[in-house]
Structure 1
Amino acid sequence: MSWAGPFQYEIGKSRQAHLSSTGFDAAAREHFPTLLCLSHLRWNFVYQRPQHLMSRFARDYNVLFFEEPLPTDDPNPWLEEIDADLGITRLVPRFPVGLEGEAAEAVLKRLLDRRLEEADIQEAVLWYYTPMSLPFSQHIKASITVYDCMDELSAFRGAPPAMLERERQLLEKANVVFTGGYSLYEAKRERHKNAHPFPSSVDIAHFAQAREEQADPADQAAIPHPRLGFYGVIDERLDIDLLDTIAQQRPDWHIVLIGPVVKIAPESLPKRDNIHLLGGKVYDELPHYLAGWDVAIMPFALNESTRFISPTKTPEYLAGGKPVVSTPITDVVRTYGQSGVVRIADSAEAFISAVEASLVDAQDREGLLKAADAILGEMSWDTTWQGMTEQMKCAR
Structure 2
Amino acid sequence: MPDATPIPLNDLSAGPLICFSHLRWDFVLQRPQHLMGRFARTRPVYVWEEPVPTTYDKPFYEVHPVKGTSVRAIRPAIPNAAPPGERESIVKRLFDDFRQLLGAQKPVLWFYTPMMWPLAEGVEAEAIVYDCMDELSQFKFAPPELKAREQALLEAADAVFTGGWSIYEAKKLQHDNIHPFPSSVDGPHFAQARKGMPMPDDMATIPGPRLGFYGVIDERLDLALLDHLAQARPDWHIVMVGPVVKISEADLPKRPNIHYLGGKGYAELPAYLSGWDVALMPFAINEATRFISPTKTPEYLSAGRPVVSTPIRDVVRHYGNLDGVKIADTPEAFVQACDEALALSKAPEIWLPEVDKVLADMSWDATFRRMDRLVTEAAQMRRARRAPDRFAAPGIKRGGAKPYDVVIAGAGFAGSVMAERLAEGSGKRVLVIDKRPHVAGNAYDHHDKAGILIHQYGPTISSIPTAIRSWTTCRASPPGAPTSTACSRRWMASSCPCRSTAPR
Is TM > 0.5 for Structure 1 vs Structure 2?
yes
Paired residue for 1:73?
55
Mapping of residues 303-318 of structure 1, within 5 Å = 303-318=286-301
Paired residue for 2:107?
124
Paired residue for 1:16?
none
How far has the Cα of 1:100 moved from its partner? 5.8
What SS does the corresponding residue of 1:142 show, helix, strand or coil?
A: coil
Paired residue for 2:193?
210
Mapping of residues 322-341 of structure 1, within 5 Å = 322-341=305-324
How far has the Cα of 1:173 moved from its partner? 0.5
Paired residue for 2:134?
151
Contact between 1:321 and 1:368, CA under 8 Å: does it hold in 2? no
Paired residue for 2:207?
224
Contact between 1:227 and 1:293, CA under 8 Å: does it hold in 2? yes
Note the aligned Cα RMSD (angstroms): 1.6
Distance 1:46 1:186 in 2: 27
Out of 354, 375, 382, which is 2:358 matched to?
Answer: 375
How far has the Cα of 1:96 moved from its partner? 1.4
Distance 1:70 1:100 in 2: 14
Paired residue for 2:267?
284
Deviations 1:329-353 (A, max 9, x none): 0000010000111110001110011
How far has the Cα of 1:21 moved from its partner? 5.7
Deviations 1:256-294 (A, max 9, x none): 000000000011000100000000001000000010000
Deviations 1:50-80 (A, max 9, x none): 0000011111110010001111110101010
Distance 2:201 2:350 in 1: 30
Paired residue for 1:59?
41
The total of aligned residue pairs comes to 375
Paired residue for 2:147?
164
Q: Greater CA radius of gyration, 1 or 2?
A: 2
Out of 216, 236, 241, which is 2:224 matched to?
Answer: 241
Paired residue for 1:13?
none
Listed as ranges, the gaps of 5+ residues in structure 2 are 380-504
* Higher alpha-carbon deviation: 154-163 or 102-111: 102-111
Return the letter of the residue paired with 1:316: E
Paired residue for 1:34?
16
Contact between 2:282 and 2:310, CA under 8 Å: does it hold in 1? yes
* Higher alpha-carbon deviation: 377-386 or 280-289: 377-386
Mapping of residues 128-139 of structure 1, within 5 Å = 128-139=111-122
How far has the Cα of 1:378 moved from its partner? 2.0
Paired residue for 1:361?
344
Distance 1:33 1:395 in 2: 14
Paired residue for 1:253?
236
How far has the Cα of 1:119 moved from its partner? 3.2
Distance 1:150 1:218 in 2: 34
What SS does the corresponding residue of 1:219 show, helix, strand or coil?
A: helix
Distance 1:43 1:121 in 2: 26
Change (3 A) 1:67 1:272: same
Contact between 2:16 and 2:105, CA under 8 Å: does it hold in 1? no
How far has the Cα of 1:32 moved from its partner? 3.3
Return the letter of the residue paired with 2:32: P
Change (3 A) 1:100 1:276: farther
Corresponding position: 1:109 with 2:74:
no
Identical-pair percentage: 54
Contact between 1:66 and 1:92, CA under 8 Å: does it hold in 2? yes
**TM-score normalised to structure 2 length:** 0.72
How far has the Cα of 1:391 moved from its partner? 1.6
Distance 1:97 1:139 in 2: 28
Change (3 A) 1:100 1:367: farther
Corresponding position: 1:48 with 2:38:
no
Contact between 2:78 and 2:90, CA under 8 Å: does it hold in 1? no
Contact between 1:339 and 1:375, CA under 8 Å: does it hold in 2? no
Deviations 1:91-114 (A, max 9, x none): 000111253655112111211111
What SS does the corresponding residue of 1:190 show, helix, strand or coil?
A: helix
Contact between 1:34 and 1:124, CA under 8 Å: does it hold in 2? yes
Distance 1:182 1:74 in 2: 45
Paired residue for 2:170?
187
How far has the Cα of 1:212 moved from its partner? 1.4
Distance 2:132 2:101 in 1: 30
Contact between 1:230 and 1:256, CA under 8 Å: does it hold in 2? yes
Change (3 A) 1:73 1:121: farther
Contact between 1:362 and 1:368, CA under 8 Å: does it hold in 2? no
Paired residue for 1:295?
278
* Higher alpha-carbon deviation: 66-75 or 149-158: 66-75
Contact between 1:201 and 1:379, CA under 8 Å: does it hold in 2? yes
Paired residue for 1:344?
327
Distance 1:130 1:146 in 2: 11
What SS does the corresponding residue of 2:92 show, helix, strand or coil?
A: helix
Change (3 A) 1:99 1:155: farther
Return the letter of the residue paired with 1:190: L
Which structure would you say has the larger RCO, counting Cα contacts within 8 Å and 6 or more residues apart?
Answer: 1
What SS does the corresponding residue of 2:63 show, helix, strand or coil?
A: strand
Flag as ranges the 4+ runs of structure 1 deviating above 3 A.
19-23, 98-102
Distance 1:98 1:263 in 2: 25
Contact between 2:21 and 2:112, CA under 8 Å: does it hold in 1? yes
